[in-house]
Structure 1
C-alpha cells in the first residue's frame, strides 16, 4: 500500500492532530489492519488450542507461560487471552472510519449510513444468537442466550457510527471517558439488594443483578452474563477508541506523526488502566473501566507495531499468513463452530502421528486442524470470496 505524501506536514511537529482537519478519502485497504485482525482470529480458530495443549509436554518454561496466557482468569486479573475480544472491538472502530469516510466521499447522506449500520447491527445480533445457541431450543425460550460476541460488535459499531458522524475525535474521546467513569460510579454507588453498593464479587456485583432482573433467557454464568446488558457500555468504548486510531491513520499526517500518536495513546491507555486497577480491579467478566483502558492501550500499541512494519517499512511477506485469516474473519469464526476441523484432521493425519506417545496425539490433531483452517481460508482468498455483513 502506498502512503500518500504530505509535503506540507512537518513530521517533527509535536502539535496534537486537529480534529477538524478533513479526512482523506482513501480507497486502499490498510494491510496492517487485515494482518492484525488475522493474528487476533488465529488465536480463537485453533492457534490458541494448539499452544494450550503444548503445556507440560515440551519442558520449556516459555511454552508453558504462553499456554497459561491463553486461558481466562477465574475473576480478577488479566491474561493475554482476555485481550482477544477487546482488540477485535477496537479494530471494528478503525475499520468503521475507513468505511464511513469512503461512504461520505461517495456522497452518501448520514441517514443512508445510519440505516446501513442499523441493518448490520440487526444481522450480527441474529447471527450471534444463532452462534451461541445452535441448535436453538425454539420450544424453550428461557434457555436461549441473547448475549453474544457478534451482537456486541454490531451494537458497538452502530453506536460508534452515530457518534463518528456527529462528533469530532476529541468529543468522542469525551464520550468514551464519560461512559467509563459513569460505569465506574454505578458499580460503586448503586446498591445491590442483599449486597449493598460497591460489591464487585461474583455474586454481589451490579452487573449480575441487572442481568438477572432485566435480561431474559439463559445467562452464561447462571447469575449474570458477561455479554449482558450493562457491560455493553464499557465494551463499546473500545470501538470508540478504535475510531480515534482510525482518525489518526486516515488524516493528512506524516507516518512519523501517526506512529508517535498511536504510541502515545497506547502508553497513556495502559498507564490509566494500571492506575485505575488499584481501586477498580482489571476484570474481563465485568468489563471494568480499568480493563477497557488497559486493553485499549494495548490495542493502540499492537496497531502501531503492525502499521509500522507492514505499511511504513513495507515488510509484508510474513503478514500474508495473517491477512488470509483477517480478510475472512466472520467466515472462520462461524466455520470453526459448525465444521469439525479436528475430526477431519484426525482422519487425514492420524497415520503420521500415531507412532508418537499418546499424550501428543491431541497436540498434532489440533495442529492439523489449524493447517486445514488456513488452507480453507486460502482457497476462499484465491477465489476472491470474502464474506462480510
Structure 2
C-alpha cells in the first residue's frame, strides 16, 4: 500500500487551543504504521502460533488474518481500506496546506494526477516485477493502483468542492454503486446477481481491463469496484478536515468520530442484509463497515496520542508509518527471509520445534523494523 504526505505530531498534555489549527498528527503516522505492521509480517505471528500450538484459540485468531472467499469480513480485510482512509485524512494537512500557501487548484490537480500515475506504475511493478512480458500476462489492477486512482478522484473533489458537497459525493458513489449492481448483471444472469461470475462489476472488468485478472474472471482490485473506494478516500478527507478544524475542542472531535463510526457500523449491518459486506466487490456495506472501524481507530489513536499526549508507546509504529510505501514494495527487491535466516537462523535452531517458526516470524519483523529505523534516523523517506 502507499503513503501520501506524512503527517507527524501535535497534541500534548497542554490544554487544546481550539483557535489554532493543528498542522501535523503524530497519531496518523502511528495508525498508518499499525496498519502496515500486519502487512510486513505481523499476521504471520498468529499463523505460526496456531501451527505450533494446534490451539483452536490461536487458530480462530489466525483465521481473522485471512480473507474470506467471497462475502463476509475478517480483520485482514481492514488493512487496505484503512490505508486508503488515512491517505484521505492526510489530504487537508498536505494538499490543504499547499492551498493555504497560495498554490493554485490547477497546480495541485496536476500534482495529484502525477502521484496517482506513479502509484499505478508502482502497482504494476509489485504485481509483475520488472520482467518484459506479453500484455495478456500482465496484471494491471493492483492495490497501489486502486489507492492512486481513488486518491486522485477524492482529492480532485476536495480541491473543487466544499465540505457539504464532499459529503454528497461520498453518498453518491456508494448509493449509485449499490443501485447499479442491484439492477444489472453479467449476461445470462438475473439482475442483482452478486456471485463472482454473475456480478456486473466483475463482468465490466473482464470487458475493460487488459491483461489477466487475479482470479481469472474477477480481480479484487478491479477497475469498476474502484468507484466505491473513492468514498473511502473521501471519508478520510472529511475526517482530516474535522481534525484540522479550528474552534473545535479535541475531545469534541473524538466524540464526533466515535459516534459517526458507531452509526456507520449499524448502517453497514442493515445494508448487509441486501448488499453483503464483500471486500472483493468493495460493496457499499463494506465501505460503511470499514469506514466505521477506521473512524473508531482514528478516534482512539488521536485521543491517546494527540489529546492525552501518550506518544512514546507509538514510536514503534511511527517508524513503520513514515516509510509505508517502501516497506510495502521492498519485498520485490530485498530477500527479507534470506536476511532473517542469515542473522537469526541460529536462534530458530536454538529454540527448536515447534516454536522456532514463531521466533523466526518475530525476527522477520524485527529485521524489517531495524532497517526502517535506520532510514528514520537518517531522515530518509520514500515519498510519492
Question: Would you call these one fold, judging by a TM-score over 0.5?
Answer: yes
Which position in structure 2 is the counterpart of 1:370? 365
Q: Is the 8 A contact 2:185 2:198 kept in 1?
A: no
Q: Which position in structure 2 is the counterpart of 1:49?
A: 44
| TM superposition shift of 1:348 | 1.7
What residue in structure 2 maps to residue 30 of structure 1? Answer: 25
- Of the structure 1 ranges 120-129 and 347-356, higher mean CA displacement relative to structure 2 is found in 347-356
**Shift in Å, 1:7:** 6.0
Matched, 1:303 2:294: no
2:180 corresponds to 1:186: yes
TM-aligned CA deviation for residue 218 of structure 1? 0.9
- Correspondence 1:313 to 2:317: no
Distance 1:76 1:217 in 2: 26
Q: How far apart are the structure 1 equivalents of 2:192 and 2:183?
A: 6
User: Aligned pair 1:224/2:218, yes or no?
Assistant: yes
| 1:67 aligned to which of 44, 47, 62 | 62
Separation in 1, partners of 2:135, 2:354 = 41
CA distance in 2: counterparts of 1:217 and 1:56, whole angstroms: 37
Say whether 1:170 aligns with 2:164.
yes
Alpha-carbon shift at residue 344 of structure 1 (Å): 1.3
Alignment of 1:1-389 (within 5 A): 1-2=10-11, 5-6=16-17, 26-27=22-23, 29-58=24-53, 61-136=56-131, 138-252=132-246, 253-389=248-384
1:277-315 Cα distance to aligned partner (Å, 9 max, x none): 011111111111101110001100000000000000001
Taking a change above 3 Å as real, the CA distance of residues 7 and 197 of structure 1, as seen in their structure-2 partners, is closer
SS where residue 266 of structure 1 aligns? helix
SS of aligned partner of 1:57: helix
- Whole-Å Cα distance in 2 between the matches of residues 7 and 174 of structure 1? 27
Q: CA RMSD in A?
A: 1.6
- What does the per-residue CA deviation read over 1:119-166, in whole Å, with 9 as the maximum and x for residues that have no partner? 111111111111111143x24111111111111111111111111112
Give, in angstroms, the shift of residue 380 of structure 1.
0.3
Unaligned runs of 5+ in 1: 9-23
TM (norm. structure 1) is 0.92
- Name the SS for the 1:132 alignment partner: helix
2:6 corresponds to:
none
- Which structure 1 residue ranges, 4+ long, deviate > 6 Å from structure 2? none
How much has 1:62 moved relative to structure 2? 4.2
CA distance in 2, matches of 1:59, 1:212: 41
How many residues align? The count is 372
- Conserved in 1, the CA contact under 8 Å of 2:11 and 2:309? no
Instruction: State the 1:354 CA deviation.
Output: 1.0
For residues 286 and 332 of structure 2, what CA distance do their matches in structure 1 show?
28
Secondary structure of 2:241's counterpart equals helix
Partner of 2:7: none
Q: Calculate the TM-score normalised by the size of structure 2.
A: 0.93
Q: What CA distance in whole angstroms lies between the structure 1 residues aligned with 2:335 and 2:279?
A: 29
8 Å Cα contact 2:34-2:321 kept in structure 1 = yes
Contact 1:33 1:91 in 2 (8 A): yes
Aligned-pair CA distance for 1:56: 4.0
The CA distance in 2 between the partners of 1:371 and 1:64, in whole Å, is 23
Tell whether the 8 Å contact from 1:342 to 1:365 is kept in structure 2 after alignment: no
User: What SS class does the counterpart of residue 43 from structure 1 fall into?
Assistant: helix
